Amino acid sequence: MRPEASVLHLDLDAFFASVEQRDKPSLRGKPVVVGGVGARGVVATASYEARVFGVRSAMPGGEARRRCPHAAFLGGRFDAYREASGRVMDRLRALSPLVEPLSLDEAFVDLRTAESVPDYDTATLQRLVDALRASISEATDGLTASVGVGTSKFMAKIASELAKPDGSWIVEPGTEVALLAPMAVGVIPGVGPVTVDKLQRVGLHRVGDLQAVDVDELAQVLGRNAATALVALAHARDDRPVEAEREAKSISTEDTFERDLTDVAELTAILQRDARQVARRLTAAGLFARTVTLKLRRHDFSTITRSRTVLSATDRADVIASVAQSLLAGVDVTDGVRLLGVGVAGLTDVLQEDLFAEAEVAAAGAAADPAGLAGAAPVEHPEPPRRSGWTPGADVEHDEHGPGWVWGSGLGRVTVRFETRTSGPGPVRTFGVDDPHLRLRGGTPVA
């Protein structure tokens, strides 16, 4: 814990849903739920209007629909989220060279390296935070952020939670223990439902209870290491540094064949097997990967590598396999492949919930197997569900009516609301899915 409040934590408010409301005027002020839209979909983010009805992140989509049936349920637009996130991270790096992104919508900033912070009194910090939030809103066309500042990562994170939504909170040095005392024990990082249950069974419900407990007594319930760490955090003792760069790591596996392979189904089966092996190694190491790489060597020994970064870190074999398969789909293998491999990079030991995994798998699978050739390949797990390209919320373009987004689709039709970020709410029209004048924005018609 530092003597001054010099660690900043920024969290964009209801990020994915806020981007959708920003870009879709008809949804502003209305319940919006973003995530997997299939039967096994999971809520990634719910707007504050949807949270009033009890919709929360990580909730099954079916439960969310029961609680808020009138909400707009949209699939993820990864490019839009990454673009907005990039603008925010650029503003943070302009403030300080020490920025540690945790996900697309969350980051720590070390203010000790910020040239614009002459001192750390509350008034100075408040002016800095207000200017930062205004700058981010301007850079992202209106997105809001909650910002906390404290003497450690833990306290800065607590502060940003207290500031939600669209606010700021500065924890002055020396006030940490008193601030934490009345909070539920679940606010401490790593204290999940199982640990909460164990603590409550021995009468420890609030952080203040942990502040008063003896480490030796707590060790009998949780073990020595966990008890020591928990009591330290209960007293706001956290010395973790803000780390701008992580050690470069990767895990990969590859196969060299006795004969050149040209069969897509056979190559797909090999990719799936290699992805399972990579996933097992990730699991064994307690790691998650953000980037999937395909390596392919042709018959003439020329080597091709293709990479794609997924929305959130994963150790799932089906996600890795589907992304690798989509990368393979962009390579001509008719002359033969002599080596094929799958690798992962951007490794982290912190799992940012892979709430869009279903959407990533479906999108990658559709791109990888447009002709359905992989269906004949032997697999150990069921093939991920396929979905129409007309995912609710997807950006589209019509030759006559201009840009819009998919309101819904089914029975050979797709309904589109024609509006943009700056147009105001627009009209709704329905077309056949094979309408040659309608296409995904930046793409081709989906037939």
φ, ψ for residue 65, nearest 5 deg: -65, -35
CATH for 1-173, among 1.10.10.10, 3.30.70.270, 3.60.20.10, 3.40.50.10320?
3.30.70.270
Burial 210-233 (b: 16+ CB within 10 A, else e): beebeeeebbebbeeebbebbbbb
Residue 366 clears pLDDT 50, i.e. is over it: no
What's residue 57's pLDDT?
Answer: 87
Taking the domain 250-365, which CATH number applies? 3.30.1490.100
Relative to beta strand 413-417, strand 250-261 is unpaired
51 vs 353 pLDDT, higher one: 51
What's residue 360's pLDDT?
Answer: 46
Q: Which of 20, 106, 176, 419 is catalytic?
A: 106
What's residue 364's pLDDT?
Answer: 47
Residue 443 clears pLDDT 70, i.e. is over it: no
What's residue 389's pLDDT?
Answer: 67
φ, ψ for residue 170, nearest 5 deg: -115, 120
CA-CA distances (angstroms) from residue 163 to 146, 170, 379? 6, 9, 48
Q: Percentage of the chain surpassing pLDDT 70?
A: 87
75's CB contacts (< 8 A; 6+ apart) are: 34, 35, 36, 37, 359, 391, 392, 393, 394
| Calpha distance 115→97 (Å, rounded) | 10
CA-CA distances (angstroms) from residue 28 to 109, 198, 366? 30, 42, 31
What's residue 287's pLDDT?
Answer: 83
What's residue 247's pLDDT?
Answer: 52
Q: Of 127-131, 250-254, 265-269, 277-281, which one has max mean pLDDT?
A: 127-131
Residue 363 exposed, middle or buried by CB count within 10 Å (0-12, 13-18, 19+) = buried
Residue 380 clears pLDDT 60, i.e. is over it: no
Query: What is the domain class of 178-235 according to CATH?
Result: mainly alpha
Out of 204-218, 285-299, 316-330, 400-414, least confident range: 285-299
Over the stretch 306-332, which tens digit does the pLDDT of each residue have?
A: 999 887 788 899 999 999 999 999 898
Give 341's strand partners: 254, 295
| Calpha distance 188→207 (Å, rounded) | 8
| Mean pLDDT value of segment 292-309 | 89
| Calpha distance 160→162 (Å, rounded) | 5
Over the stretch 345-362, which tens digit does the pLDDT of each residue have?
A: 888 776 554 444 444 444
What's residue 404's pLDDT?
Answer: 96
Q: Percentage of the chain surpassing pLDDT 90?
A: 63
Flag whether 11 is marked binding.
yes
What's residue 430's pLDDT?
Answer: 96
Read off the pTM.
0.69
Q: Identify the band that residue 72 occupies on the pLDDT scale cut at 50, 70 and 90.
A: very high
Over the stretch 180-211, which tens digit does the pLDDT of each residue have?
A: 999 999 999 878 888 899 999 999 999 999 99
Flag whether 399 is marked binding.
no
What's residue 350's pLDDT?
Answer: 61
Kindly give the residue spans of alpha helices, DSSP state H, lying in 181-236. 193-201, 207-212, 215-222, 224-234
Active site residue 106: yes
Residue type, 410: G
What's residue 149's pLDDT?
Answer: 98
| Calpha distance 447→216 (Å, rounded) | 66
φ, ψ for residue 43, nearest 5 deg: -70, 125
Sheet-wide strand order for 99-103: 99-103, 106-110, 7-12, 145-150, 168-170
What's residue 155's pLDDT?
Answer: 97
Mean pLDDT (the chain, rounded): 86
Residue 381 clears pLDDT 60, i.e. is over it: no
